[in-house]
Each structure stands twice: as C-alpha cells, then as structure tokens.
Amino acid sequence: MQREFFGNSGFRSFDKTLGETPKKESRPIHRAIVLILIATGLLSLHVSRLVQLQLVDGKQNRERAENNRVRQVPMAANRGHIIDRKGQLLAGNNLARSVYLWPKEQTPEQWKVTADKLSPLLKIPAQEILGKLKQVDPLSYRPVRLRQAMPPEVFVPLSEQVGQMRGVEVRPEANRYYPEGSLAAHVLGYIGEATQADLKAHPEYPMGMIVGQMGIEASSNRKIAGVWGDRLIEVNAQNQELRMMGETPPKPGETVQLTIDLEMQKAAEEALGNRRGAVVALDVKTGGVLVLASHPTFDPNLFTRKITKEEWETLQGLENPFLNRAMQGYPPGSTFKIVTSVAGMESGKFSPDSIVGTSSYITVGGINFNEHSGGYGNIGFRDALAFSSNTFFYQVGMSAGPEQISKWGHRLGIGKDTDLKLLGLGGGDHGQMPTPEEKEKIYKEPWYAGDTVTMSIGQGLVLVTPLEAAVMVSSIANGGNRVKPHLLASMTGKPETKPVPTGMKPGTVEVIKEGLVAVVAEGTGRGLNDGSIPLTGGKTGTSEVIGQQDHSLYVAFGPADQPEIAIAVIVENGGYGAVAAAPIAKEVFQAYFGKPKKVNESVEISP
C-alpha cells in the first residue's frame, strides 16, 4: 500500500514534472535584432545618399550651390544712336524693364509650375515661356530674357510677386525707341531678338541679343550693337543682390550719322500723306540721300516689344507697308524724255540746236500715236521739254534707236549702274530699258517699231525707280556726272561714292537744263514758280496704268542757277504730274530752302 501510494501520488507526480519542457523568455532578443536591422538600414540609406551627393552628383551640386550664391549677370550694351545729317535723333534708347529667367534655379518640372504663374502676369502663353527655356542648356549659368520693354501695368504686379518665384528677375535696361515714329522707317528699319540662325552665325552673341532686322539697323548692326558686358554678383535666396564681385562693363554701340535731312523727310512724308508713292531727294554733288520716303509705312517702335497678332496681320496686309516704293520700278512717263533727249543728241542724229516739226499725231506701222495737245509746230529741245511734246520725242527716239536710249539711260543711272548695295537697305529693284535683243530673250517676243515710239516717252517696257529718277535728273543738274546714292555720312567723299562722268557733251547738258528750267518758268511745272522758293528746274510725267488712274510723277532740281538738290516723286494713281506729284516736290524744296516768312510775322513797327 505504501509503495502504491508512493508510486501513485509521489513518484508519478514527480515524473510528470520532469517530462515537461520549461518555457524560455525570448522577447528581448527579438527586439534587439529588429532594432539592429532598422539601424543598419537607416545607416545604409544615409551612406547611399551621401555617396550619391558627394561622389555621383558632387560636381553638379557644388556648381548649383555656388550658382545660388554667385551669378554672372550679362549687361546689355546700349545700341548706338542714329542721327540725321544735322545731328537730330532718329533712333535712340530709353529706360525700360525686362524679365529674365535663370534656367539652373529650377528643374524642368518646377519651371512648368512657374510658367503657369508667369503666363497671366506677362500675358505670354506658358508654352512660349517653356519654349524659351528649351532653347538653352537647363544647367546654363546665363539668364534668358523672356520679355523686354514691359509697360507699367505688367511689371508692377510682376515685381510684387517675383520674390516668390525662384529664378525670375525683373531688370532695368535700355530699350530702343524711334522718337519720330514711322518717319523714315524704310531707311531706319527695325530691331528684334537674335534668332537661332543669328546665334549660330555669331557665337559671340548672348541669348537675348538685340540685332537689326531691316534697313540701317541691320546693315550697320556691327557698329551700332556694341559689346555686352558681365557683372559677377553675390545674391541671396530671394534674388537680392548682396555685393558685386567683379565687372566687365559693356561697350556701347557707335553713333551712326545719316545723310538724311529730318526736316526734309518730314515735309516729304507729310505732303505724300496717305497716298501710295515715294519721294527721293539727293545732294547733286555728293549723292548723299536727303530724303527717302515711301508710303504706306510702319512704326518701328512696334518691334521694340512683343508685337501682337493683330499688328502683324496688319503689316502683312494688301497695302504691303514693308515695300520700299522708292526702290521699285514704275513707268516713268514724260520724265523719261530727259533720257531720250540725251540719246538723240549724243547719238549724233541731233544737235542742241536741232528743230523738229510736231503735229497732232504721227503714224507708225498703221497706228496713230497722238500729241497730247494738237502739236506745237517746229520746236527745239528746250521747248519740247517745256511743253512736253510727244510727237517731238517720238521722232527723236525713232531716229536715235532703242539701243542708244537704253545705253544713255544706263549712263544716267537707270538700271544696275545705280549700285543699291551702297545704301545698305536691301529689298530694292532696278529699272529696265530692254533693247530689241533683250526683249526677245526676256519676253520671247520680237521688237516692233511701236516699242521704240512708246519707249521714247517712258511707256511700254520702260521702268524707272524713284531713286534712279533722282540720279537721272542729278546728272543734268551737276553738269553731267552720275552720282552714287548713299545713306551713311561717313561714305560721302569716299572713292566708292565719287560721282562718275557720264560722257555727255556740255552742250547736251546745257540745253536739257534750259528746257527743265523752262518747264517751271513757263511750262507744265508753273506751280513751283510762285516766289515761295528760288527758281528750279523740273519735268512732269503722267504714266498710264491699264484699268486704273494714271500715276503722277515729277523730277526736279534746284536752285536753277547753281543746283544743290534733286528730287523725284511718284504718287500711284495720282493723275497728272503737275497736279499730284509736283506740289510734293515744292514742299520738299521749301523745307530745304526755308519757307518765306509772312510780312506780319517779320515786320516790326518802330514808334
């Protein structure tokens, strides 16, 4: 019993206890392992980021950090002034404000957000802003000019927010302006930001470089543009300048003086008004261009800022305001009788004293070619020019022949003998006086006797530009030398602009000159002989235009005794030369000689 008790109650109970596995405390160990793994992971991340920043992107980040502190700011050079022959300003500069973007200051994604913010402030599409940034390296140290010459209603609200937009800066700088508006626009031209083609052709140009796009602004750009400079500055995170660390000052452009006379140019453009046409005035001794006016015209101030779509569409309209009509060919009408006169006498078929019978018409090839007023009887060159007899010049032209007419027209400046490159304007054309051989080659048609007849009075295939017409009449005014038109005062008197002898005999020049003075004294140009200016010489012209009113033309020189200037005028569809064109020449003469003072303005009565 006792063994059983022991076995049941004691031994068995003890054996059960020995057979169980005791539980161990494992939580502290697991926690330690997890903490070690987390710490190792975090440390690895930090080490990886340090490696990325210091070794992989180290150079780029050092450059970015330095650029956030130090900036190389380009300093635009002021464009040189353009002045007239008396020193009056035609193109200059005034203070304006521009907005610049610093590409490195933001990532491409950040710039998308900034562009959306800038767009309504600058009134520029966001895509256009991003397009400007895409034109340069996103890591570029140099800023990109986004807009120039901002009006107050744009830059004031922008200035209030620019401090909140990293990499955006509003900066004052000089801006081009033309104090006389559209005056002489075809001479001055206009400016614009350098295109990608310009930047490629001129690696020295910085982004935002302003260059001439037309006229003197373009042809003299190298002289006018100057050289940009740089400022090395330290800035804070708000783009505020802390101190200047160095500077290479810009070199302003040089002043360019033209031969243009501002007051004469004004007189010509005001007299021409809103009519289509052109006016040219030359110094008959030097060839300096005193007036070169063309209408319709444009205001070059439009291009000193972002031009609107509506403005651009207007400039591309049917009136074609960019067309320089002073360098476009027109049928010269009776003004061409100057050339026919020279050809007749220099061909040896006529002398200065020759007399030719005129009538109401002549018949050539079965066609009647009419006189405009019934004939003048037997007259010479002087009276034929004074009264513009058609039948006189029909006969002179047929006797001399088209080859002689073309030859002497070229010698007097019509066609390629007038070098347009000296003007530096571009876009001009030459006149034409085709010979029979040239007509067959160009038009694939034979030459008819009627072609010679019409050629003799400046109709048919003959075309003359207003510029060439002024050269032509200058050749008579100065005694027989063909001047070379130019616009830069620095070219006057240089070998390349020295007048060229035409080879006309003194007698030829003298009788034509007498005839042109007679036009004003007693002929078709009597309107200029009212005492308001010295006596001048001139020749009216009316050229036929199929289906439209005739063009009105006038060429002139003055004063009659010792000529100084020559003028050519055309008014498209203006009718008679004496009615539309001649009064414009008179206004230009008055600007040159000075309008006479009225008695009640100049007389002072003493007590």
For every residue of 231-267, which 3-state class applies, written as one string?
A: EEEEECCCCCEEEEEEEECCECCCCEEECCCHHHHHH
Examine the fold and report which residue of 205, 228, 257 is the final residue of a domain before the chain moves on: 257
For residue 533, the domain's CATH number is: 3.40.710.10
Same domain, 426 and 512: yes
- Identify whether 142 is part of a domain: no
Tokens 């002489």 map to which residue? 184
Closest CA to 279 of 591, 596, 607: 591
Are β-strands 500-501 and 367-370 bridged in parallel, bridged antiparallel, or unpaired? unpaired
Do 238 and 223 share a domain, yes or no?
A: yes
C-alpha–C-alpha distance, residues 140 and 207, integer Å: 11
**Gap between the Cα atoms of 18 and 567, Å rounded:** 135
Evaluate whether 89 touches 262 at the Cβ level (below 8 Å).
Answer: no
| Confidence bin at 1 (pLDDT 50/70/90) | very low
d(CA 79, CA 209): 11
| 444 and 574 part of one domain | yes
Q: What's the CA angle centered on 542, arms 539 and 548, to 5 degrees?
A: 160
Q: pLDDT tens, 300-326? A: 999 988 787 888 888 887 788 999 999
* Distant-in-sequence, close-in-space partners of 416: CB < 8 Å, separation ≥ 6: 410, 430
CB 100 within 8 A of CB 193: no
pLDDT tens per residue, range 215-255: 999 999 999 999 888 878 787 766 666 777 888 888 999 99
Q: 368 and 232, same structural domain?
A: no
Q: Name the pLDDT band for 132 (thresholds 50, 70, 90).
A: confident
Q: Which of 97, 100, 190 is nearest to 146 (CA)?
A: 100
Beta bridge partners of 233: 71, 244
Looking at the fold, whether 247 and 301 belong to one and the same domain comes out as no
Record the pTM: 0.82
473 and 451 share a domain?
yes
DSSP assignment of 371-422: -SSS--SEE-HHHHHHHT-HHHHHHHHHHH-HHHHHHHHHHTT-STTS-GGG
Mean of pLDDT over the chain:
88
Separation between Cα atoms, residue 320 and residue 317, nearest integer Å: 6
Number of C-beta neighbours around residue 310 at 10 A:
8
461 shares a domain with 440: yes
Closest by Cα among 330, 329, 321, 297 to 574: 330
CATH number at residue 76: 3.90.1310.10
Q: Please choose, from the candidates 284, 393, 378, 290, the residue with its C-alpha nearest in 3D space to the C-alpha of residue 342.
A: 393
Tell me the percentage of the chain whose pLDDT exceeds 70: 89
Total domains, the chain? 2
Quick check: is 301 in a domain?
A: yes
- Indicate the pLDDT class of residue 151, thresholds 50, 70 and 90: confident
In a domain, 586, yes or no: yes
Query: What's 95's DSSP letter?
Result: E
CA distance 607 to 605: 7
Judge whether residue 525 has pLDDT over 60. Answer: yes
Give the residue-averaged pLDDT of 44-51: 70
Distance, C-alpha 524 to centroid of its chain:
38
Q: Residue 53's pLDDT is what?
A: 59
Last residue of a domain, one of 235, 257, 279: 257
Beta-carbon contacts of residue 354 (< 8 Å; ≥ 6 apart):
344, 345, 380, 381
Burial of 323 (0-12, 13-18, 19+ CB in 10 A): middle
What sign does the CA torsion over 346, 347, 353, 359 have?
negative
Structure-model confidence comparison of residues 151 and 475, the more confident one = 475
Range of the structural domain that residue 229 is part of: 66-101+170-257
Q: Do 331 and 414 fall within a single domain?
A: yes
273 vs 289, 457, 554, 602, CA distance in Å? Answer: 21, 28, 16, 30
Cα gap 230→405, rounded to integer Å: 61
Give the model's pLDDT for residue 155.
80
The gap from C-alpha 123 to its chain's centroid, in whole angstroms, comes to: 26
